[in-house]
Structure 1
Amino acid sequence: MPEPTPTVVTVRAPAKINLHLGVGPVRPDGFHPLATAYQAISLCSSVSASPSTDWSVTCTPGEGIDVAAVPLDDSNLALRAARLLAEHAGVTTPVTLHIDKGIPVAGGLAGGSADGAAALLACDTLWELDTPRSTLLDLAGQLGSDVPFGLVGGSAAGHGRGEVVTPLTDTGRYDWVVLTDPVGMSTPAVYAEFDVLHDGLVVPDPEIPSALVDALAAGDARALAGSVGNDLQPASLRLRPELAEPLQAGLDATALAALVSGSGPTCLFLCEDADHAARVADAVSSYGRAVVASGPVEGATVL
């Protein structure tokens, strides 16, 4: 007998961190070319899709997550993803989406992009489209720079605006402390500050350090610590200078590396193992909510 048509499909998608974020000179379209090394970590949100008489989206927060800034109208990225796939495939049946938010909002962790990736896969499964992977990735890239990586997961290189994603060989497991801040940061504002800091300077085309690629291939956390970086970090610290304190506190607590995640304000601390991460988390917990996570993990997955 054929499988029954599902009435609800739930997909989990991970947060992303940038192990390296190289930013090039601003282009005429206002975007900056990027060369970034992504890693998916074990902070996840899930999106459930079910047939409905109208397009809609709801959201519930996970522990310690503030979802006040998550739009529940047509600007919501998950709902935009569902509509885009429906338009592409000629589907006329609306869906209602429910987001269980486990990734902090506006924290430089691509939480909205994870929702978009999860919604694409959830609706593709619900509507039994079996859309080719390459097509889903193309649609994801139309939605936003980080959405394709939400589908790919693992560790990967990102080029263009970050939407051209190529998996990287990674044989390791890495333990991170993710220190979130209740006050988000505007990604466009951070890029604008980057441009101010580089006004009149020659900004080279970005590259992912070969040492980082080698460290991932070897699964060597200490080597990885020596090659992580973020070209946006000086701009983020100019806009939010108080972030320097937790970054230093993490290093003082023997974290292998400390850096701002993406455009911030989330701070990341690479650790030796889970026990070490717990100690570092305790040391920086006075600065915000410190969560222990590991990576790499798989991309968007049907539950």
Structure 2
Amino acid sequence: MGSDIPFLLAGGTALGGGRGERVVPTATRGTYHWVFALSDEGLSTPAVYAECDRLRGAAPVPQPEPSADLLAALSFGNAEVVADAMGNDLQEAALSMQPALAGVLEAGLSFGALAGIVSGSGPTLAFLCRDAESAIDLAVSLTASGAAADVRKAHGPAAVGPVEVATCR
């Protein structure tokens, strides 16, 4: 079982630490509408991390830190502000290994997404939309144009009933 499962079971908005096994609730206002573009071709997480290390070269790798801008944006509750604060340190590596993802990101933004990023180590792409209607429009545009073979819509934060979360190792 992946160490990110506790995050998925906790619901709401949370900050994950460690390998994802430490989950701390985070204050959030608003509802966020997402479109996820799924790729037919997978990416190996260890390979993406290795590519990230290769691209960084000998530069020291900083410890991941929560983005103060993103945490503030989430507490503000405005999707546009959240979009401006989004980022993924593994994106360059994932795009290096699967360059076609860059075209899907570009298409999503041209079809009206507020922001688009590689989700985790990829190859799934996450697009933040202004509202539910914009998410439907984006999902239709991505599939109708052929930019993405498969998409999923979601909104959050998602409420989940009380769950006891154990540390997974």
Normalising by structure 1, report the TM-score: 0.50
> What is the correspondence of 1:1-303 to structure 2 with a 5 Å cutoff?
77=1, 144-285=2-143, 286=146, 287-299=148-160
Aligned counterparts of 1:215 and 1:155: Cα–Cα separation in 2: 13
Q: Which amino acid aligns with 1:156?
A: A
Larger radius of gyration: 1
Bigger proportion of residues as strand:
1
Q: Does the 8 Å CA contact 1:256/1:272 hold for their aligned counterparts?
A: yes
Aligned counterparts of 1:251 and 1:288: Cα–Cα separation in 2: 17
Residue 268 of structure 1 and its aligned partner are, at CA, apart by: 1.0
Residue by residue, what CA displacement relative to the aligned partner does 1:3-53 show, whole Å, maximum 9, x if unpaired? xxxxxxxxxxxxxxxxxxxxxxxxxxxxxxxxxxxxxxxxxxxxxxxxxxx
Residue by residue, what CA displacement relative to the aligned partner does 1:122-153 show, whole Å, maximum 9, x if unpaired? xxxxxxxxxxxxxxxxxxxxxx3202212212
Q: Taking CA–CA contacts closer than 8 Å with sequence separation of 6 or more, which of the two structures ends up with the larger relative contact order?
A: 2
Aligned to 2:85, what secondary structure does the other structure show?
A: coil
Bigger proportion of residues as helix:
2
Structure 2, unmatched stretches of 5+, are 164-169
Aligned counterparts of 1:205 and 1:291: Cα–Cα separation in 2: 32
Residue 182 of structure 1 and its aligned partner are, at CA, apart by: 2.3
Q: Give the structure 2 partner of residue 65 of structure 1.
A: none
After TM superposition, the runs of 4+ consecutive aligned structure 1 residues lying more than 3 A away are: 299-302
Normalising by structure 2, report the TM-score: 0.88
Paired positions, count: 160
Aligned counterparts of 1:145 and 1:194: Cα–Cα separation in 2: 21
Aligned counterparts of 1:151 and 1:292: Cα–Cα separation in 2: 19
Residue 299 of structure 1 and its aligned partner are, at CA, apart by: 3.9
Structure 1, unmatched stretches of 5+, are 1-76, 78-143
Aligned counterparts of 1:243 and 1:299: Cα–Cα separation in 2: 31
